[in-house]
Structure 1
Amino acid sequence: MDSKYGGSSQEGVVVLMVPFPSQGHLNQLLHLSCIISAQGVAVHYLSTATHSRQARRRVQGWDQVAISNIVFHEYSSLSFRCPPPDPYASIRFPSHLQPLFEASLHLRKPVAELLRKLSATSRRVVIIHDSMMGSVVQDFVEFPNAESYTFHSVSAFSILFFLWEKKGRPFSIDSEILEILPSLEGCFTPEFGRFMAKQHQYKKLNSGEIYNTSRVIENHFFELLTKPEISKKRQWAMGPFNPVILINNITEEEEEEEEEESNSSRHKCLKWLDMQASNSVMFVSFGTTTSLSDEEIGELAVGLEKSEVKFLWVLRNADRGDAFTEEDKGTMEKLPSGFEERNQENGLILVRDWAPQLEILGHPATGGFLSHCGWNSCMESISMGVPIAAWPMHSDQPRNAALITKILKIGVAVKEWGPAGSVRSSNCGVERALRKLMVSEEGEEVRKRAAELGAAVRTAVAEGGAAQMELESFISHINR
């Protein structure tokens, strides 16, 4: 573990981040760490050595100074064995990671030890923990100068209806919204459902809740979250956590002399995007927790080819418990015969490779995102003004997809979440969805709304904007 406990802090306040060891969760809290650190507050980030390394290697958009200001505490003592992901499971939730999730609860003792040291040298210790790590941080109640805040990694829309249903539908909601609300059936395995319920029991100990969303995106649903029937604690919508202006780490004066060196370090897919027309490329990625079946890969390939839309496809298996272990071979062999050769001018396929998603979405050539609709991906796409072709797989994704396509109307559905949850009904399919989004008049309206919402989100994080005001409110609160 890192031996540093000090560092500059604002009036003796330090923040301890405790993320859940899954990429979308790790990433969001590392982004938030950079944001809070930039406010002059000392930030500590605690995870296993493997997952801390994973988060740091994959974070994008921040300069190195922002990352170096965070104190990382890394533990390597967790023991778990995860089976390979199963793309044919009846429930597509990444159940292969359940051993990791259970093992992560053993971080309780290291967290308590670190809290003891931080509380002895700080006026106040503020714990921001993933909602799935409630039991891990529970010992903060032993320290009179410590308080905790729960971070929800999902949309306000998703958590609102989860809580609303759990609390017995305590107030009325517009019937038009309820009609398009997907069922949670088939979204989670029973094992994870029990895990989640256990962690949510510790919410009663917290002093408030934090969301990676923006009032300009979800104000109506965020306001419903603040109703006393749902929660009587303070809520902050400080998103997007990801940078909306990406950092190149070179000044304008240095740009010419460092251009060659900078280009050599850029991912190959960004160099390929440089050669494509503006808004012409469909980015295809199903995130870090989904492995596609042979049939799904075939369906995607045929749809991409028939649509004649240029594409950048990240074709990889889901992360394992240790994302640095070698993935299964043979992913490329699942593509239809001759697909690569026929599409070498029209597309780029990245196999078994993690791609810089935020930079891809921020590239001028990217005109759409065929996505599973994980909330991290949704927020990155929204903040970059990129419309979404939605194909949800599990967890909160079906409800995020409904928010994107039917409420915000900044995307189109590739697949609808079926009435039986795990059974997905065909909607318009890959080819029709891509053509609809990229080349139709209806798609033009969708793309226009996505661009306008992206601009509004970027304004919200600027000085005087809604997100900036939420951040200032939170910083003022913890420094009270």
Structure 2
Amino acid sequence: MNKFELVFIPGPGIGHLASTVELANVLVSRDDRLSVTVLAIKLPNDIKTTTERIQSLSASFEGKSIRFIVLPELPFPNQSSEPPPLMLQAFLESHKPHVREIVTNLIHDSNRLVGFVIDMFCTSMINVANEFKVPCYLFYTSNAGFLDFSFHLQELYNQNNSTAEQLQNSNVELALPSFINPIPNKAIPPFLFDKDMAAWFHDNTKRFRSEVKGILINTFVEMEPQIVKWMSNGSSKIPKVYTVGPILQLKSIGVTQSNNALNGADILKWLDDQPPASVVFLCFGSKGSFDEDQVLEIARALERSEVRFLWSLRQPPPKGKFEEPSNYANINDVLPEGFLNRTADIGRVIGWAPQIEILSHPATGGFISHCGWNSTLESVWHGVPMATWPLYAEQQFNAFEMVVELGLAVELTLDYVKDFHIGRSRIVSAEEIESGIRKLMGDSGNEIRKKIKVKGEESRKSMMEGGSSFNSLRHFIDDALTNLQEGNY
């Protein structure tokens, strides 16, 4: 049977690749008329990890209507010339000729090309979709709140031609129709204070508004009800939105070994020996790391709190290098003398962490997180309350939304920044961290614990037949194929 082909172009990086591939998996599982080709982009400093991940993904989806094509390895622009987002834009732009060639070969197959589904960073590929006269859809891997906030800022930028200076005012508060609470300065991503990066961001958002056929958002209606309602009522003047989440890869693929000889199985075995909901899990994403002075503050807080802990501690990349953190050769080099011995009965310090398995384990009672949206959805799905410690990108906004707007997380800090371009904002003290741990794991966190468990149940129901995301994905499939049948593309 001939199938309808969608070309998926995820952004580089494991977080974007994993959720995009899982969306493709959900689509082809839901409708056997569909086939997906994933065009994978590899960052030069992450070629080995990405290659291994793609090989594992290919093997895990064998027999399904998903195929992977890895784009040629291309050099990254000079790392000293531009901020990372602008370098990334140029890097992705350089892949267009290869995408064009691959898609040209695809259309000679028996399957019929019906559209592109691109990552939020891959807007340059809209031009390629236009060349093939097929619609382009956006897969937005963050939340509906930040997307609506982005559209709001883009409107302000169009009116003033600059927003960076106004946003830097510490007293600024932005009122959005979709939000109950005004957005404070500390929730605004730091890159928006840079004139050049802000211009790039607003131009990208403008393309979301005017050049894509629809936007698939990795959220569910019950998670952000007021925001989704506002975005769907037509007055916001944006493309049709489809809430299709939570799109999560709930099985780890390609488990690796952590730096202190505790592999994934050993970590879970240690958790098996802990009481239910007793362990606080500290993990800060694939790009999260701290300088040694901040590591010492975290260690002091954990020791003083006397709470059971599992801490994923990664070594920062060399200064000025746009690379992911790595595991320490010797974890003792950055920890207080004797820390591991003194906390041996209550905690473990590891490198890489099997996050899904840890969050799903009954011993895990709290999650101190960087508030990346994938991690936030995983925390909600498993009903594990979260304390916020944002680092970069839109994570300060995510933290604000979870704590203040939705009341679904405990505040450890909302305004911490550790960004490649801007640097570190401050040191979070051991006292602040200890206070956050106690709020999260103590009686004061019980209300959040109850709410997050309810929200976790709602997230699961949303993906089941008749659920909000199940129905929204059905609408996307029908709309995409209707466009084709009506000859609109």
Q: Residue 451 of structure 2 aligns with which residue?
A: 449
Change (3 A) 1:56 1:156: farther
Letter in 2 for 1:239: G
Q: Write the distance in 2 (CA, Å) between the matches of 1:78 and 1:359.
A: 34
Change (3 A) 1:159 1:118: same
Change (3 A) 1:243 1:302: same
Q: Residue 178 of structure 1 aligns with which residue?
A: 182
Contact 2:408 2:452 in 1 (8 A): yes
Change (3 A) 1:287 1:126: same
Q: Residue 68 of structure 2 aligns with which residue?
A: 72
Change (3 A) 1:359 1:55: farther
Query: RCO (CA 8 Å, sep 6+): is it higher in 1 or 2?
Result: 1
Q: Write the distance in 2 (CA, Å) between the matches of 1:165 and 1:424.
A: 27
What pairs with 1:430-441 in structure 2 (closer than 5 Å)? Answer: 430-440=433-443
Q: Residue 473 of structure 1 aligns with which residue?
A: 475
Deviation of 1:424 (Å):
6.0
Q: Write the distance in 1 (CA, Å) between the matches of 2:223 and 2:454.
A: 11
Q: Write the distance in 2 (CA, Å) between the matches of 1:294 and 1:410.
A: 31
Deviation of 1:290 (Å):
2.6
Q: Residue 429 of structure 1 aligns with which residue?
A: 432
Q: Residue 29 of structure 2 aligns with which residue?
A: 38
Q: Write the distance in 1 (CA, Å) between the matches of 2:389 and 2:124.
A: 33
Letter in 1 for 2:37: H
SS of the counterpart of 2:125? Answer: coil
Give a deviation string over 1:73-129, Cα, whole Å, max 9, x none: 112331127869xxxxxxxxx956864553222111111122222334433332110
Give a deviation string over 1:46-77, Cα, whole Å, max 9, x none: 12356687457569x99955366321111233
Give a deviation string over 1:439-476, Cα, whole Å, max 9, x none: 22x21111111111101111111111111111111122
Letter in 2 for 1:349: V
Q: Residue 138 of structure 2 aligns with which residue?
A: 150
What pairs with 1:258-407 in structure 2 (closer than 5 Å)? Answer: 266-317=264-315, 332-351=332-351, 353=352, 355-407=353-405
Q: Residue 200 of structure 1 aligns with which residue?
A: 205
Structure 2 unaligned regions, length at least 5 = 160-174, 254-261, 483-489
Deviation of 1:423 (Å):
4.5
Change (3 A) 1:274 1:95: farther
Deviation of 1:194 (Å):
4.4
Match of 2:41 among 22, 43, 48: 48
What's the C-alpha RMSD, in Å, of the aligned pairs? 3.5
SS of the counterpart of 1:348? Answer: strand
Q: Write the distance in 2 (CA, Å) between the matches of 1:192 and 1:331.
A: 36
Q: Write the distance in 2 (CA, Å) between the matches of 1:374 and 1:14.
A: 30
Instruction: Say which is worse superposed, 305-314 or 185-194, in terms of deviation.
Output: 185-194
Contact 1:383 1:455 in 2 (8 A): yes
Q: Does 1:135 align with 2:124?
A: yes
Letter in 2 for 1:47: A
Match of 2:224 among 203, 207, 218: 218
Q: Residue 240 of structure 1 aligns with which residue?
A: 246
Give a deviation string over 1:183-210, Cα, whole Å, max 9, x none: 4252457464444344334332211111
TM-score normalised by L of structure 1? 0.81
Change (3 A) 1:227 1:55: farther
SS of the counterpart of 1:415? Answer: coil
Deviation of 1:407 (Å):
2.4
Q: Write the distance in 2 (CA, Å) between the matches of 1:273 and 1:183.
A: 34
Contact 2:281 2:368 in 1 (8 A): yes
Contact 2:219 2:244 in 1 (8 A): yes
Contact 1:280 1:309 in 2 (8 A): yes
Change (3 A) 1:71 1:192: farther
Letter in 1 for 2:336: P
Deviation of 1:315 (Å):
0.7
Change (3 A) 1:23 1:435: same
SS of the counterpart of 1:398? Answer: helix
Q: Residue 97 of structure 2 aligns with which residue?
A: 109
Change (3 A) 1:172 1:400: closer
Contact 1:24 1:376 in 2 (8 A): yes
Letter in 2 for 1:80: F
Q: Residue 27 of structure 1 aligns with which residue?
A: 18
Q: Write the distance in 2 (CA, Å) between the matches of 1:318 and 1:27.
A: 23
Give a deviation string over 1:384-403, Cα, whole Å, max 9, x none: 11110101112211111112
Give a deviation string over 1:354-412, Cα, whole Å, max 9, x none: x2212211111111110010111111111111110101112211111112112222211
Contact 2:11 2:41 in 1 (8 A): no
Q: Write the distance in 2 (CA, Å) between the matches of 1:322 and 1:370.
A: 23
Of all paired residues, the percent bearing the same amino acid is 26
Letter in 2 for 1:103: F
Deviation of 1:213 (Å):
0.4
Q: Does 1:16 align with 2:7?
A: yes
Change (3 A) 1:435 1:62: farther
Contact 2:14 2:50 in 1 (8 A): yes
Q: Write the distance in 2 (CA, Å) between the matches of 1:265 and 1:318.
A: 21
Change (3 A) 1:142 1:97: closer
Q: Write the distance in 2 (CA, Å) between the matches of 1:189 and 1:356.
A: 35
SS of the counterpart of 1:216? Answer: coil
Q: Write the distance in 1 (CA, Å) between the matches of 2:472 and 2:316.
A: 34
